[in-house]
Structure 1
């Protein structure tokens, strides 16, 4: 009887261990794999950028290390932050007239930009409707 109880207890423990292992595996598939795929994709993007500009590999390594350290620390903007440090960052993130980069501007700035565009468009439409811009055939 003791042997049977021991076997059943061991069987329950094995089932419990298996369930825990399956939960960990599911979490690994849902969290770790996509994260590593993003890391590989971002690294490939950086390396393509270096290769297209014929940047020396020895000079590129600190930027790659910086990206890896930011990414491993959990920074969601690791690629953007690394790209801002590149010598050709102004090509990736064009600057405003005042010298600040567009990547750091807030949503408010974008809303203001589009409001100005809408006002100009509306003024143009009002001018067309009032007939100031119509041509007369002679």
Structure 2
């Protein structure tokens, strides 16, 4: 799921960099950082079903709020309702504006989106 999600967003947002799990210092803005916030396996009465639900936070960074918000809209358009096996559905569950979280003295605007991603494990 991780590689497929990154590739899908990377293609939809090119040339904006898309990275998992950290905010790489020195990358050009705008940029997108993906973080798995939680993950829950799915169970049937006879045990694990082989599916999983992950909440993924997508942070959209830009030099000011307006382009960060525009980047978030592009992410929303690319992910909301997206289905591509093994991903069986992507659904937006939250949005918020946050102060910069970049370290190293960078001052970037950030809009954060949360998505529930339902997918087959493995």
TM range (shorter): under 0.3
Instruction: Flag the structure with larger Rg.
Output: 1
TM-score under structure 1 length normalisation: 0.23
Structure with more of its chain in helix, by fraction: 1
Which structure has the higher relative contact order (CA within 8 Å, separation 6+)?
A: 2
TM-score under structure 2 length normalisation: 0.25
Structure with more of its chain in strand, by fraction: 2
